[in-house]
Every structure is written in structure tokens, then in C-alpha cells.
Chain A
Amino acid sequence: MMEGFKLLVNTLAHPTIMLTAGMLVFLFFFPPNDWFEKWNRRLHLNFLWTKKGFYFVIILMVVFFLIGLTDPNFSLIIKKPDNVPIIGLIFFVFIFLWISMSQALKNDKLIDAGEKPEEYNDPEDKVLVWPDLVYIEFIALILCMSLLLIWSIGLDAPLEGPANPADSPNPSKAPWYFLGLQEMLVYFDPWLAGVVFPSLILFGLMSIPFLDTNPKGGGYYSYKQRRLAIPIFLFGWMILWVALIVIGTFLRGPNWNFFGPFEFWDLHKLVPLTNINLSEIIYIKWFSVGLPENILVREIFGFLIVFGYFLLLPPLLAKTAFKKLHQNLGNFKFGLFIFLLLFMLSLPIKMYLRWLFNLKYLIAIPEFFFNI
């Protein structure tokens, strides 16, 4: 019984299944359009944002980690002192997602009924900072400090053996908050995963206020009025950032191989590396000729795909799915928006190309370290 459960979890935890399920379910929980919203209502998915739904998920998570503690392999990972904050993060992300979504749905109902959101109050009716805010801050500080003290007394900061440049541990992991980027290294080369993507994440975050020109939904929790902005942000933050950190922390073992939560981190686990480049698929597998000498001829198909993705898809989307948005934003802002969105989506796309076709690179020019 227990063994079967563990086997099931180990199988389901594989990124191919977990991320696919996560992405599919995501759009139904955070519907971006009427069609998904219809199904959201039909399946009663908003149950999650009720009190019962809250307790249901929290109990489920607690039970999962308690079972995990009984397993020798999983407990080894979750008891690691530096992993404690990530377990905290998993709970916090859900708790605060619930707090914001439950308030958003309440406000949506109020707004639908033509009323003001719950946060609204009479401009004349204000409270004094002393004492109404000061004492909340004071209590928050004391709680935070006591929690930190208990945590610090109870759990020693880890200290491994002295630094030895000649002995690299397997796996070598970056600090936990960068593990999403390290996980990206599976699918992209370091110049993309380590430099271009982080830069674009920062740039994209900073440009949110300029690209989200929707005047509604400022200063209160809401969902319906911001059906495009919220799903895009939550997708990037919860799936492409937090979920990848969780995978990188708990599910990546020696040689950065995948290990289920209840699986022993076997140093000798063999995972065949059968990934091949697009040029090899086309010239060798399909045409049965050798790779051309000329780099540009060799990689022409990859270039066509990448250029098509970034240059042809935006105008196409502007005419079809994002017609209204294009009219609202104008050419420049829409171009920037769609570029950032396509860049974000290129990560899951590359994942699927890898999982489905063992594709290593679309464009592979190792001569110039230019691999996509």
C-alpha cells in the first residue's frame, strides 16, 4: 500500500507529468477568458478559495510532508537545514495565494453587484497611525523576531567540510533561490538560462506597470477585472519560478538527474543522453545526408523557426487572439508585451521539444557558443 503510494508519487513527480498537469490545471483555476471561466464554474474550482478548500489543501500538504518524514530518502532532503525555508515557501505561496484569491472573488461579486470593493472606505473616515498601525507593526516585529529566535536556537546553520576546490560535490547546487535558473540549464545553455532570462525577468517585471494599461483593479484585490494580467504573472511566478525551485531542490540529485521524492539518490543512476540537434534530425535522420559544412546552411531551419517565432507570430497574434489588446496598447507596447510573453513561453516550449523529440538545440553553433 505504502510502497504503491510512493511509487505513484515518484512517477507523478517527474517534471514531464507534474509540470504538464500543473500547466493544464492552471488555466482552469485562473481562467484568462470566458471559455475557461465557464469550465471553472462548472467544475466548482472556486471551492479552493473557500475556507473548506483552504483546510483541505493545507491538511493534504501537511500529511504529505509527514509521510515524507517517515521515508528515509525523502526525510533526508526535507530535513536538510537549508531546505526548511523552501518548505516554508511552499506553504506560504499557497496561504497567501488563498488570502488574495478569496478576497478577490469576494470583491468580484461586490463589483458585479455594482458596489465598491471591500477595501473601499469613506475618505473622511481615517484611523490614526498611533496607535492603530504602530501596534500592529509592533506585534508583527515581535512575532517575527521570536519565530526567528526559535528557528535559530532549534536549527544550527549548516557548515560542511572546509572548502576544497579539488573535490566538487555531486550534485553542486546554486543557492536555493537561484535553483529555478539552474533547472533552466537543463533546457537552455548558460548564456540564456543564466544571463538573458534573468535579465529579461527583471526587465519584464519592471515593465509590468507600463504594459498593463488596464485602469481597473488598482488598490484592491480583484480577479475578473484583470483576467489577463493575473494569470500571466501567476504562471511566471508560481510555475516557472517557484515550481522550478521546488524541482531543483527536492527532485534533482547526482548529475542533476531526476529523482522522485521517495527515491534513493543513486550516484550511478544511468540516464541515457540521446538528445540531438534540429540540424541532425533534418539532415541526417530525414535527408540521410551529412551535415553541411557551411554553418548558416546547417542551421538555417533553426534560424527560420526562431525568427518565425519572434517575428511572424506577434503580428499574427495581433490580428487574431490579441486583437483587442493590440488596439489598446499600440504597436510599440504590444510588440514589447508579446516579445516578453513569447520569451517566457519559450521555456515550457523548449521543455516539450526536449521531452517529445529529444531535441537538444534548435540552433547549434558551438563554434561561437551560440546554442538555442
Chain B
Amino acid sequence: MSDKKKSNIFQQLGKSQVWKSIIRSGIPRTRRQRMMSVLNSLFLHLHPVRLPRHAVKLRFTWCMGGLTFFLFLVLTISGILLMFYYRPTVEYAYTDMIDLGEQVPLGIMREIHRWGAHAMVITVWLHMFRVFMTGSYKPPREFNWAVGVILLLITLLLSFTGYLLPWDQLAIWAITVGANMARATPFLGHEGPGAALLALGDINFVHIGSDVKFALLGGRFVGEAALLRFYVLHCIGLPFIIMILMAVHFWRIRKDGGISGPT
């Protein structure tokens, strides 16, 4: 014991059975260990082991795609916490909002969720902007750009559905303005061009009780059904879709040759 050079606690920890059972390659010091630590981690192996030099420069990537994903995680976690306190009914929704600010300890979850959502919309846009300015949508990355556009749409829809949940004046009127667009959808909205053509004699198939606005709100105006619909879409439906598409998006980055660069 006394012969051995004294090793500090971290080194001893790195040699312990528990540590080695979790992180097989030990503390990443040598080049080999560093490569193994990326390869052997489920999360880190989203990345390749090695990257071209320009790819890690902040002025090239702006970190915007990564930050978007990070904000998505922040929103998921804060959203789960909010779901403990929030009941999506006309009766309770608004008072639960007040409780969230006044009764819940460390009550900034709603703030983190709301500002995080705004920030995510901006980072998605800036990510798209960066990808465009570096021409990174060019072959072989066409499909991944299209997936990204859909991810952008779902981000906006997530934000839009979340907008209704506080059930205050801002919420229902913003959603009313948005949902009123749906009734003008060509053929499918009751005030859209062509809707009158979808009729059998005097019977209209597309009317105020059967058009896309009705499907969106679950009623003729923003009420109880709309609140529940938006809640389910916001917490389950859209996150489900966005997570699948994000997996495709990340996977395709690797399959399409990693981050773009000049050849």
C-alpha cells in the first residue's frame, strides 16, 4: 500500500467495479479512451467519434440545432412538472394557472416553459437560416431539409396548442383568431371557396358543424372541447410525432455524411 504512488479519490473511483460497469472505457484520458467514451454511450454516439475542424467552430454552426433540441428537453421536463398541477377544464384551468404562480414552491416552471417555448421557435428559425446560408440542404441532404421543415411546423403547432392552455383572455382570443383561418380552408371550411360545391341537392356536407374548424376545436367556438383537444395534442400527440421525426432528423445527419462541409 505504501509503495504505491498515492492516487486521488477520482482515480480510485475510476477503477472501481461500479464505475467500470457503467462507463467501460474508464476516465477518458488517452485518445483511445476518448473515442471509446463516445462510441459506448447511447447519447454521445449520436455524434461521430471524430469531426472535421470547422464543424466544432461556433461561427459555423451557431449551436442552433443543438440548442433547439436542448430547449425541447427543457420544455418536456418543465411541461411534465406543470402537468402535475394543471387540469384542462374550463372550471379549473385558469385558477390552476394562478396557483402555479402563487402556491407552488419555486413557482417559475410556467415561466421557464413559456419563455423556453418562445426561445425554441427562434432557435428553430435561426437553425434553418444557418442551414440555408451554408447551403447544407444540397444533395445528399435534401430529405433531411424537408424533415426539418416539418419539424419547424410541428414546433409552431406545439407552441400554438400550448397558447390556449392558460385559459385567459390572451389565450382564447389568440386561438380564436388562429382557428378562424381554418373555416376558410378551400373545400374543407364552411367559409372556404368551393365548400358549397360539396353538396347533394340541398344538403351541404361542409357546414359549420362539420368543417375543419369544427374538427380542430371540437365545437363551433373555443370552449371546453377545444381546451381538451389542444391539451392532448400539446402533451401527447404532437410531442409523439416530433420525437419520431427528430430521431429521423438526427439519424439522417449521420447517414447523409455528417455535418456539411466544403469538399
Interface residues of A (CB under 8 A from B): 82, 84-85, 88-89, 92-93, 96-97, 99-100, 103-104, 116-121, 123, 125-134, 136-137, 140-141, 144-145, 148-149, 151-153, 155-165, 167-169, 172-178, 181-182, 189-191, 193-196, 202, 205-206, 208-210, 212, 214-222, 226, 229-230, 233, 237, 365, 368-370
Residues of A within 8 A of B35 (CB): 128, 130
Closest to A123 in B: B52
The interface-forming segment of B13-21, B175-183, B236-244, B245-253 is B175-183
Contact of B192 among A163, A191, A221 (CB under 8 A): A191
* Interchain CB contact under 8 A, A165 and B172: yes
The distance from the CB of A325 to the nearest CB of chain B, in whole angstroms, is 17
User: Told that A140-B66, A169-B170 touch, could you supply 16 new A-B pairs with CB distance under 8 A?
Assistant: A96-B62, A117-B262, A121-B53, A134-B44, A152-B115, A156-B101, A159-B97, A163-B94, A165-B223, A178-B178, A212-B137, A216-B135, A217-B135, A219-B135, A219-B262, A229-B135
Closest to B36 in A: A130
* Interchain CB contact under 8 A, A85 and B70: no
Residues of B within 8 A of A195 (CB): 181-182, 184-186, 189, 192
The distance from the CB of B89 to the nearest CB of chain A, in whole angstroms, is 12
Known: A121-B54, A141-B70, A149-B112. A162 touches B136 (CB 8 A): no
Known: A129-B50, A190-B181, A226-B135. A155 touches B115 (CB 8 A): yes
* Interchain CB contact under 8 A, B174 and A175: yes
Closest to B49 in A: A129
Contact of B169 among A123, A169, A217 (CB under 8 A): A169
Interface residue tally of chain B, by bracket?
35 or more
Docked CA distance A151–B117 (Å): 13
20 contacts between A and B (CB under 8 A): A99-B59, A100-B129, A116-B262, A119-B60, A121-B52, A126-B50, A133-B47, A145-B74, A148-B71, A152-B108, A163-B94, A163-B167, A169-B170, A172-B177, A191-B192, A191-B193, A194-B182, A208-B137, A216-B135, A368-B196
- The A interface, classified by DSSP as helix, strand, loop or mixed, is helix
Known: A210-B142, A369-B193. A174 touches B174 (CB 8 A): yes
* Interchain CB contact under 8 A, B129 and A153: no
* Interchain CB contact under 8 A, B138 and A218: yes
Residues of B within 8 A of A149 (CB): 108, 112
* Interchain CB contact under 8 A, B173 and A120: no
Known: A130-B28, A130-B34, A191-B186. A85 touches B118 (CB 8 A): yes
Interface residues of B (CB under 8 A from A): 28, 31, 34-35, 37-38, 44, 47-56, 58-60, 62-63, 66-67, 70-71, 74, 90, 94, 97-98, 101, 108, 110-116, 118-119, 121-122, 125-126, 128-130, 132-139, 141-142, 145-146, 149-150, 152-153, 156, 159-160, 163, 166-174, 176-178, 180-186, 189, 191-196, 221-223, 260-263
